C-alpha cells in the first residue's frame, strides 16, 4: 500500500509499515478466497446447471391450468358430462383437479424428464385413491398435455394408449393459462 500527501501540500511518501503490509496481505488472501469460491460456484453451475435448467424448463411447461378435454379408460371413452369445464391445475410440486360440480382432488407429484417417455408419479391426497400413488407417463405437444397412468399399485404404462382389458387411463388436456 502506498500513502502520500497531495502535491499542493508538498508531496511526501510514507514508507509502508510492517502492520500495514500484514493487513494488506490478509485483505489480499480474503479477496483470493472469495474469487476462488465464486469460480467454483460458477464452474458447478456450468457442469450441473444443464440438468437443473431442463427440469426448470419442463416444470415451466407443465405448470399452469389445463382443461380436461378427453379421457379414455380401459379402451373406452369416458363421458365428460360430470367433468365439463374441469381444470387440472399444476403447480411446482402439487396438482388439483377441479370439476365444475364436484369436490376437488388434490395431490403431490414428481416427474422424471430424463426418462423416455417422461414419467410422472401422482400421490393422491383425497378421493377414492387417497394415500395411493398413480404411476404414469406424460408428454406436452402443441399446448396439449397427455397423461397416461395406471391404477394404484399397477405398473407404469409404456404408451399413451388405453386398451380394453386394462385399467390404464389416458387424459388429454388443453392449456388455458
Radius of gyration for the alpha carbons in the chain, expressed in angstroms and rounded: 29
Task: Please tell me whether residues 101 and 144 are part of one structural domain.
Answer: yes
pLDDT exceeds 50 at position 52: no
pLDDT exceeds 60 at position 1: no
Task: Please tell me whether residues 38 and 69 are part of one structural domain.
Answer: no
Model's pTM, two decimal places?
0.67
Task: Please tell me whether residues 108 and 169 are part of one structural domain.
Answer: yes
> What integer is the mean pLDDT of 157-162?
94
Task: Please tell me whether residues 40 and 71 are part of one structural domain.
Answer: no
Our count of domains for the chain comes to: 2
Judged by average pLDDT, the poorest of 41-55, 107-121, 128-142 is: 41-55
Phi, psi for residue 112 in degrees, rounded to 5:
-130, 100
Task: Please tell me whether residues 97 and 114 are part of one structural domain.
Answer: yes
Task: Please tell me whether residues 91 and 149 are part of one structural domain.
Answer: yes
More confident of the two residues 65 and 49: 65
Task: Please tell me whether residues 72 and 150 are part of one structural domain.
Answer: yes
In a domain, 4, yes or no: no
Task: Please tell me whether residues 54 and 76 are part of one structural domain.
Answer: no
The CATH code of the domain that includes 88 is 2.40.128
- How high is the pLDDT of residue 28? 60
Range of the domain at 152: 65-175
Q: Over the chain, what is the mean pLDDT?
A: 78
Phi, psi for residue 43 in degrees, rounded to 5:
-65, -40
In a domain, 127, yes or no: yes
* Alpha-carbon span 124 to 94, nearest angstrom: 10
CB neighbour list of residue 5: distance below 8 Å, 6 or more residues apart: 11, 12
- How high is the pLDDT of residue 102? 79
CB neighbour list of residue 129: distance below 8 Å, 6 or more residues apart: 151, 152
In a domain, 99, yes or no: yes
pLDDT exceeds 80 at position 63: yes
- How high is the pLDDT of residue 84? 76
| pLDDT tens digits, one per residue of 80-103 | 777 778 999 999 999 999 988 778
- How high is the pLDDT of residue 125? 96
Task: Please tell me whether residues 77 and 155 are part of one structural domain.
Answer: yes
Task: Please tell me whether residues 103 and 165 are part of one structural domain.
Answer: yes
| pLDDT tens digits, one per residue of 4-49 | 444 444 544 555 566 556 665 655 655 455 444 444 444 444 444 4
- How high is the pLDDT of residue 149? 95
Work out the pLDDT band at 167, boundaries 50, 70, 90: confident
Give me 103's grid cell.
369436490
Task: Please tell me whether residues 98 and 54 are part of one structural domain.
Answer: no
Amino acid at each position: 500500500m502506498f500513502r502520500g500527501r497531495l502535491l499542493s501540500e508538498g508531496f511526501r511518501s510514507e514508507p509502508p509499515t510492517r502492520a500495514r503490509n500484514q493487513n494488506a496481505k490478509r485483505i489480499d488472501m480474503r479477496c483470493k478466497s472469495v474469487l476462488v469460491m465464486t469460480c467454483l460456484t460458477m464452474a458447478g453451475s456450468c457442469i450441473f446447471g444443464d440438468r437443473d435448467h431442463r427440469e426448470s424448463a419442463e416444470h415451466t411447461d407443465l405448470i399452469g391450468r389445463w382443461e380436461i378435454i378427453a379421457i379414455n379408460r380401459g379402451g373406452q371413452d369416458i363421458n365428460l358430462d360430470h367433468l365439463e369445464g374441469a381444470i387440472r391445475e399444476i403447480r411446482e410440486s402439487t396438482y388439483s383437479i377441479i370439476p365444475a360440480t364436484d369436490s376437488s382432488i388434490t395431490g403431490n407429484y414428481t416427474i422424471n424428464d430424463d426418462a423416455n417417455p417422461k414419467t410422472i408419479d401422482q400421490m393422491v391426497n383425497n378421493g377414492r385413491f387417497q394415500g395411493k400413488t398413480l404411476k404414469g407417463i406424460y408428454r406436452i405437444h402443441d399446448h396439449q398435455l397427455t397423461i397416461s397412468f395406471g391404477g394404484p399399485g399397477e405398473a407404469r404404462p409404456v404408451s399413451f394408449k388405453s386398451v380394453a382389458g386394462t385399467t390404464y387411463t389416458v387424459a388429454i388436456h388443453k392449456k388455458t393459462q
